[in-house]
């Protein structure tokens, strides 16, 4: 008789909350008194992954810091839909400056707090992928290099979405955008380009780098909390599907994010001082086409003139991630009908 | 005038002024769907409801929820063939929830902690005669007493329980469990008359001044077939055999016992014969294993105890210590046909387990109760063709199991209640079925079923000790928590957490959630990510 300790609460570690869990084991989002850092009435599209990701991350940061957070926001969807003058959705101190300088402004806020002796107030800088990997890249690299006490969060929806879906350096290969049209022998975005910012951040040897998706709330909140336990520059990269730019159904935002991870296309891991310390294993390995077929930006790979060669190429990218980060569980032989001693 | 920063003319306002609910074309609505286990339960139990209580470790609450519909959880947890588990959606994830094992745990918990059934209702002034103290009659008695009706329960046998006592062997249902659960019903105040054979139902009713009658006489007669037999051949039917064993009056069968038939009763008879000392217990069945009506688990246990099977065989001749069997084969339509190949088997006794019939002689003098194919014909409310006379259990057309009978008892009690009060029976609208497609099973933790331990085979050979053992508390809790709560909110907070617009309001424990339609944009994430399918999207009407 094998002994297999299981702490089992029906949906314990996957759902947002659970009546059977003790308060301490529940997510911040399951708390009726959560901050709601970004409030109702914002003008994000139906099913916006970024609005969701921002609330997840900032509410968790608020709990981790006992409500001592200042957020500096780059220009982008998140800023545009949350603060059309004179309205704001923010329930936290929040600054907006320019598209490219959010890391530098955050550096300044952190410096000012240091001068004032306020080490209890923590600084978060946030941007979309355009503001991070393209336009804000120089100031972000500088912030990393100086090791300023800022957590930088990139909400990655893989393109410039509120300006009409243009390509960024985070847009995946083969994806259709307004600037990577479906024309020519290699339709959509070009293979072999773009930047892998989590790895670039790791190359700066900053204290903490992590990736997450809106599909795994427990993991995302744990990473924000972990990030807030460090001083110095930190980087969190959250995949936030965009129904508008990706052409996915508004109700499938979380499902799509989950498949990005379960296919291996978006590796979820964390690293400290340049070394990967943990990875989220794939629970139900899924072929990339299941992920791609949910999104109109990849529609040209299927249908009347399918491009299995391109799908294969994308699958190879996923396989490479799986190998690089060790995303698969070790195969453990487990008899299906084993009698188990369980620990509840 | 307020002092504002340079070039700022308006104060900051909240985005809550912007009612984004106007964007919506579909709205999420909380619904309750019928879980497949509840749908499949012949006794009409709210299985998901009592599992929900058990999940939190409140076994008393779970027990009380269970006995609302069925007063015999410890019995059911042993002898029910659990169609709920066949229907369970978790089958498509890993394995069905062990509902029957949890039910037994709760039943045993209730007995150990001396939990009481709900009290009898305030006296209604109506009197009901229940004929037959098997599962149908006892279940009807329980529900009728709760409704406040006076009940006289009569049975021709010396003890209560019907087939639960005289048909089901003790190694499947220990008598102390049976006695304890029946005693709880009788303790509600029931006029019990045992050893009482009702000969004329109309007279019995009129003399006793009963307002209604429930016929639950079961199917107590073993079917006989004509098999050429020598004078000294020992042939008996399984029903009387098991009945006599239950009365401690086991007939002498000899060393080699052949049981003829393929139902659960055949297995019970063969397993009982083994325990009484038969070294060989052979079941002869004219079809194949796949066509056998007996339940798979029982067959497995029987084989484990040394019972052997002769598939595709019929008995042609029975003599003093041998029988002649003929081999069969299946024709193109799947029916068995003769092959002309014969074989002799040694047999000291033959037990016929070829089905049972109902003794309806008590209806003969009245003659107005409609009977067809040997069973009583009933309306959906279980009323017969005679007003005020209801029938259920094995005596009416249905699957002949104890659980079906318990369900009939409840249904008949409702029908009788409506009849004596002179009102129409209100039909309960069923919710839409919570099929697997309604679920998002990603959210359920991987957890394989806990198997119930069994008594070691060597210890089953010469006694009637219970074979299948119960779960420990920890295992029962684990098993209860494998329930996916199909179709009914279990407050996992997913909808509250996944809304990008904070448009789901959490109302606190047991109060669940409410959608704030001022801000809900109708994206549908809440419905898509609801694990149990308790949210549906409804088009907005313009």
- What value does the mean pLDDT take over residues A152-179? 97
Tens of pLDDT, residues B4-53? 878 778 888 999 999 999 999 999 999 999 999 999 999 999 999 999 99
Neighbours of B304 (CB within 10 A): 13
More confident residue, A324 or B473: A324
pLDDT at A340: 38
Of A6, A42, A82, the CB nearest to B447: A6
According to DSSP, residue B221 is labeled E
pLDDT at A2: 35
- Cβ pair B14:A89 closer than 8 A: yes
Q: Which two tokens stand for residue A263?
A: 């296919």
Chain A residues with beta carbon closer than 8 angstroms to that of B53: none
Distance in angstroms (rounded) separating the CA atoms of residues B295 and B262: 10
Does the pLDDT of residue A337 top 60, yes or no? no
Q: Give the distance from residue A228's alpha carbon to the nearest chain B alpha carbon, in angstroms.
A: 22
- Cβ pair A342:B475 closer than 8 A: yes
Q: Which of A201, A224, A78 is nearest to A143 (CA)?
A: A201
- Cβ pair A47:B531 closer than 8 A: no
Q: Which of A65, A245, A109, A232 is nearest to A171 (CA)?
A: A245
Q: Where in chain B is the domain with CATH 3.30.70.20?
A: 15-32+489-539
Percent of chain B with pLDDT strictly greater than 90: 80
Answer whether B535's CB lies under 8 Å from B28's CB. Answer: yes
B430 φ/ψ angles, rounded to the nearest 5 degrees: -90, 145
- Cβ pair A29:B531 closer than 8 A: no
Q: Give the distance from residue A206's alpha carbon to the nearest chain B alpha carbon, in angstroms.
A: 31
Q: Which of B499, B32, B255, B230 is nearest to A47 (CA)?
A: B499
Q: Which of A142, A137, A141, A102 is nearest to A123 (CA)?
A: A102
Q: Which two tokens stand for residue B534?
A: 């308790």
Q: Which of B353, B396, B337 is nearest to B140 (CA)?
A: B396
Distance in angstroms (rounded) separating the CA atoms of residues A112 and A157: 32
- Cβ pair B12:A11 closer than 8 A: no
Interface test with A, best of B525, B527, B529, B533 (most A CBs within 10 A): B525
Distance in angstroms (rounded) separating the CA atoms of residues B211 and B224: 37
Answer whether A54 touches B (CB < 8 Å): no
Interface test with B, best of A46, A50, A283 (most B CBs within 10 A): A46
pLDDT at B446: 81
Cα B91 to Cα A10, B83, B332, distances in angstroms: 16, 12, 33
Q: Give the distance from residue A212's alpha carbon to the nearest chain B alpha carbon, in angstroms.
A: 15
pLDDT at A8: 58
Residue in chain B lying closest to A259 (CA)? B442
pLDDT at B451: 76
Chain B residues with beta carbon closer than 8 angstroms to that of A27: 493, 497
Kindly give, in sequence order, each residue whose CB lies less than 8 Å from that of residue B221, ignoring residues fewer than 6 positions away: B239, B356, B357, B358, B359
> What's the mean per-residue pLDDT of chain A?
92
- What value does the mean pLDDT take over residues B101-111? 97
Q: Where in chain B is the domain with CATH 1.10.1060.10?
A: 37-115+444-481
Q: Which of B417, B390, B416, B394 is nearest to B405 (CA)?
A: B394
Distance in angstroms (rounded) separating the CA atoms of residues A110 and A256: 36
Of B16, B499, B528, the CB nearest to A255: B528
Of A217, A284, A339, the CB nearest to B497: A217
Of A10, A15, A85, the CB nearest to B494: A15
Residue in chain A lying closest to B440 (CA)? A255
Kindly give, in sequence order, each residue whose CB lies less than 8 Å from that of residue B31, ignoring residues fewer than 6 positions away: B431, B432, B487, B534, B535, B536
Answer whether A76's CB lies under 8 Å from A131's CB. Answer: yes
Q: Which 3-state string (H, E, C) describes B330-347?
A: ECCCCCEEEEEEEEEEEC
Q: Give the distance from residue B8's alpha carbon to the nearest chain A alpha carbon, in angstroms.
A: 9
Chain A residues with beta carbon closer than 8 angstroms to that of B501: 40, 42, 44, 51
- Cβ pair B10:A86 closer than 8 A: yes
pLDDT at B6: 82
Does the pLDDT of residue B111 top 50, yes or no? yes
pLDDT at A10: 64
Q: Tell me how far the alpha carbon of residue A169 is from its chain's centroid.
A: 16
Interface test with B, best of A2, A13, A15 (most B CBs within 10 A): A15
Cα B113 to Cα A184, B59, B60, B63, B139, distances in angstroms: 77, 10, 9, 11, 22
More confident residue, B76 or B465: B76
pLDDT at B364: 82
Answer whether A194's CB lies under 8 Å from A170's CB. Answer: yes
Q: Give the distance from residue B28's alpha carbon to the nearest chain A alpha carbon, in angstroms.
A: 11
Of A40, A46, A339, the CB nearest to B451: A339
Highest mean pLDDT (candidates B135-144, B217-226, B391-400)? B135-144
pLDDT at A13: 67
pLDDT at A87: 92
- Cβ pair B531:A89 closer than 8 A: no
Superfamily of domain B223-354: FAD/NAD(P)-binding domain (3.50.50.60)
Chain B residues with beta carbon closer than 8 angstroms to that of A250: 523-525
Helix (H) or strand (E) holding B258, with range, is strand B256-260
Q: Which of B58, B64, B74, B69 is nearest to B108 (CA)?
A: B74
A282 φ/ψ angles, rounded to the nearest 5 degrees: -75, 130
Chain B residues with beta carbon closer than 8 angstroms to that of A255: 528-529
pLDDT at A335: 38
Q: Which of B3, B91, B92, B87 is nearest to B45 (CA)?
A: B87
Does the pLDDT of residue A263 top 60, yes or no? yes
Q: Where in chain B is the domain with CATH 3.50.50.60?
A: 127-220+358-421, 223-354
Distance in angstroms (rounded) separating the CA atoms of residues A6 and B268: 38
Answer whether A29 touches B (CB < 8 Å): yes
A109 in helix, strand or coil? helix
Least confident of A25-34, A282-291, B150-159: A25-34
Least confident of A71-75, B227-231, B267-271, B320-324: B227-231
pLDDT at B3: 76
- Cβ pair A8:B19 closer than 8 A: no
Chain A residues with beta carbon closer than 8 angstroms to that of B474: 342-344
- Cβ pair B493:A27 closer than 8 A: yes
pLDDT at A332: 43
Tens of pLDDT, residues A44-101? 999 999 999 999 999 999 999 999 999 999 999 999 999 998 899 999 999 998 999 9
Does the pLDDT of residue B515 top 80, yes or no? yes
Which domains, ranges and CATH numbers included, belong to chain A? 2-27+35-341 (3.40.50.970)
Does the pLDDT of residue A233 top 70, yes or no? yes
pLDDT at A338: 36
- Cβ pair B500:A47 closer than 8 A: yes
Kindly give, in sequence order, each residue whose CB lies less than 8 Å from that of residue A316, ignoring residues fewer than 6 positions away: none
Distance in angstroms (rounded) separating the CA atoms of residues B196 and B155: 6
pLDDT at B449: 78
pLDDT at A11: 59
pLDDT at A235: 98
Residue A3's pLDDT band (cuts 50, 70, 90): very low
Least confident of A110-119, A213-222, B175-184, B443-452: B443-452
Tens of pLDDT, residues B343-367? 999 999 999 999 999 999 888 877 7
- What value does the mean pLDDT take over residues B167-173? 95
Report if pTM > 0.80: yes
Residue A9's pLDDT band (cuts 50, 70, 90): low
Answer whether A336 touches B (CB < 8 Å): yes
Answer whether B212's CB lies under 8 Å from B151's CB. Answer: no
3-state helix, strand, coil in chain A (%, to 5): 35, 15, 45
- Cβ pair B14:A18 closer than 8 A: no
CA angle, residues B136, B139, B143, in degrees to nearest 5: 135
Q: Give the distance from residue B282's alpha carbon to the nearest chain A alpha carbon, in angstroms.
A: 30
Measure the CA dihedral B283/B289/B294/B297, to 10°: 100
Of B17, B19, B483, the CB nearest to A87: B17
Q: Which two tokens stand for residue B165?
A: 């006592």
Of B477, B481, B503, the CB nearest to A40: B503
Query: Which CATH number fits the domain B127-220+358-421, given the four candidates 3.40.50.1010, 3.50.50.60, 3.40.50.1970, 3.30.2020.30?
Result: 3.50.50.60
| Polymer length in residues for chain B | 542
Percent of chain A with pLDDT strictly greater than 70: 92
Kindly give, in sequence order, each residue whose CB lies less than 8 Å from that of residue A241, ignoring residues fewer than 6 positions away: A49, A157, A214, A248, A252, A253, A254, A256, A257, A260
The CATH architecture annotation of domain B15-32+489-539 reads 2-Layer Sandwich (3.30)
- What value does the mean pLDDT take over residues B42-66? 95
Answer whether A253 touches B (CB < 8 Å): yes
The CATH architecture annotation of domain B37-115+444-481 reads Orthogonal Bundle (1.10)
Distance in angstroms (rounded) separating the CA atoms of residues A163 and A129: 13
| Residue located via tokens 């957070």 | A69
- What value does the mean pLDDT take over residues B311-317? 93
Percent of chain B with pLDDT strictly greater than 70: 100
Number of A to B CB contacts under 8 A, please give it: 182
Answer whether A89 touches B (CB < 8 Å): yes
């Amino acid at each position: 008789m094998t002994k297999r300790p299981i702490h089992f609460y029906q949906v314990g570690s996957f759902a947002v909350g659970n009546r059977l869990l003790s308060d301490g084991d529940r997510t911040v989002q399951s708390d009726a008194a959560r901050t709601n850092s970004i409030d109702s009435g914002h003008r994000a599209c139906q099913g916006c992954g970024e609005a969701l990701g921002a609330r997840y991350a900032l509410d968790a940061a608020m709990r981790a810091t006992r409500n001592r957070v200042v957020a500096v926001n780059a220009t982008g969807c998140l800023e545009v839909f949350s603060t059309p003058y004179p309205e704001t959705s923010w329930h936290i101190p929040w600054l907006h400056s320019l598209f490219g300088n959010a890391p530098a402004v955050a550096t300044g806020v952190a410096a000012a707090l240091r001068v004032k002796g306020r080490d209890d107030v923590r600084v978060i800088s946030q941007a979309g992928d355009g503001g991070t990997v393209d336009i804000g890249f120089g100031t972000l690299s500088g912030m990393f290099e100086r090791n300023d006490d800022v957590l930088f969060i990139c909400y990655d929806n893989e393109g410039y979405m509120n300006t009409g879906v243009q390509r960024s350096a985070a847009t995946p290969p083969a994806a259709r955008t307004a600037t990577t049209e479906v024309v020519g022998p290699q339709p959509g975005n070009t293979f072999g380009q773009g930047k892998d910012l989590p790895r670039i951040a790791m190359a700066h040897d900053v204290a903490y780098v992590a990736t997450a998706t809106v599909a795994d709330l427990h993991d995302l909140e744990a990473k924000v909390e972990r990030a807030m336990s460090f001083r110095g520059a930190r980087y969190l990269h959250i995949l936030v599907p965009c129904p508008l730019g990706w052409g996915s159904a508004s109700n499938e935002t979380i499902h799509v994010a989950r498949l990005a991870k379960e296919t291996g296309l978006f590796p979820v891991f964390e690293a400290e001082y340049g070394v990967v310390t943990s990875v989220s294993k794939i629970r139900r390995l899924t072929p990339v086409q299941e992920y791609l077929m949910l999104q109109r930006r990849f529609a040209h790979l299927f249908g009347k003139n399918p491009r299995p060669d391109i799908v294969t190429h994308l699958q190879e990218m996923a396989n490479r991630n799986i190998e690089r980060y060790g995303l698969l569980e070790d195969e453990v032989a487990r008899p299906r009908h084993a009698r188990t001693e369980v620990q509840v | 005038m307020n002092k504002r920063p340079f070039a700022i003319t308006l104060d900051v306002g909240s985005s809550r002024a912007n009612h984004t609910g106007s964007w919506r074309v579909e709205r999420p609505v909380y619904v309750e769907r019928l879980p497949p286990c509840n749908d499949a339960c012949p006794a009409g139990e709210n299985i998901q409801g009592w599992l929900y209580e058990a999940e939190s470790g409140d076994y008393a609450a779970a027990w009380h929820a269970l006995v609302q519909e069925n007063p015999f959880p410890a019995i059911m947890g042993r002898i029910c063939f659990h169609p709920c588990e066949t229907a369970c959606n978790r089958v498509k994830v890993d394995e069905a929830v062990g509902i029957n094992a949890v039910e037994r745990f709760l039943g045993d918990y209730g007995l150990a902690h001396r939990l009481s059934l709900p009290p009898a209702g305030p006296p209604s002034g109506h009197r009901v005669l229940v004929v037959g103290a098997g599962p149908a009659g006892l279940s009807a008695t329980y529900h009728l007493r709760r409704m406040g009706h006076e009940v006289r329960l009569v049975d021709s046998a010396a003890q209560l329980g019907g087939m639960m006592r005289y048909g089901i062997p003790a190694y499947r249902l220990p008598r102390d469990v049976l006695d304890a659960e029946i005693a709880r019903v009788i303790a509600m105040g029931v006029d019990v008359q045992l050893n009482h054979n009702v000969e004329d139902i109309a007279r019995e009713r009129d003399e006793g001044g009963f307002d209604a009658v429930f016929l639950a006489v079961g199917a107590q007669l073993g079917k006989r077939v004509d098999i050429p037999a020598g004078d000294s051949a020992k042939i008996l039917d399984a029903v009387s055999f098991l009945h006599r064993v239950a009365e401690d009056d086991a007939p002498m069968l000899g060393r080699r016992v052949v049981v003829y038939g393929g139902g659960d009763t055949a297995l019970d008879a063969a397993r009982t014969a083994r325990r009484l000392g038969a070294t060989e217990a052979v079941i002869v069945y004219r079809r194949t294993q796949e066509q056998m009506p007996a339940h798979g688990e029982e067959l497995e246990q029987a084989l484990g105890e040394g019972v052997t099977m002769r598939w595709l065989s019929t008995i042609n001749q029975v003599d003093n210590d041998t029988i002649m069997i003929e081999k069969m084969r299946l024709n193109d339509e799947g029916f068995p046909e003769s092959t002309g190949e014969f074989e002799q088997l040694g047999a000291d006794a033959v037990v016929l387990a070829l089905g049972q019939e109902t003794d309806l002689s008590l209806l003969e003098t009245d003659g107005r109760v409609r009977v067809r194919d040997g069973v009583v014909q009933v309306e959906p409310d279980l009323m017969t063709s005679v007003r005020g006379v209801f029938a259920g259990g094995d005596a009416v057309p249905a699957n002949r199991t104890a659980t079906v009978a318990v369900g009939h008892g409840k249904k008949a009690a409702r029908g009788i209640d409506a009849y004596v009060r002179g009102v129409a029976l209100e039909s309960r609208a069923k919710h839409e079925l919570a099929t697997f497609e309604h679920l998002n099973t990603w959210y359920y933790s991987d957890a394989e079923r806990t198997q119930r331990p069994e008594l070691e085979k060597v210890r089953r050979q010469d006694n009637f000790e219970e074979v299948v053992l119960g779960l420990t508390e920890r295992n029962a809790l684990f098993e209860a928590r494998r329930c996916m709560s199909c179709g009914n909110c279990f407050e996992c907070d997913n909808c509250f957490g996944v809304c990008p617009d904070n448009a789901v309001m959490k109302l606190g424990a047991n109060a669940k959630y409410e959608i704030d339609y001022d801000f809900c944009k109708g994206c549908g994430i809440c419905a898509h990510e609801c694990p149990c399918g308790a949210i549906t999207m409804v088009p907005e009407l313009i």
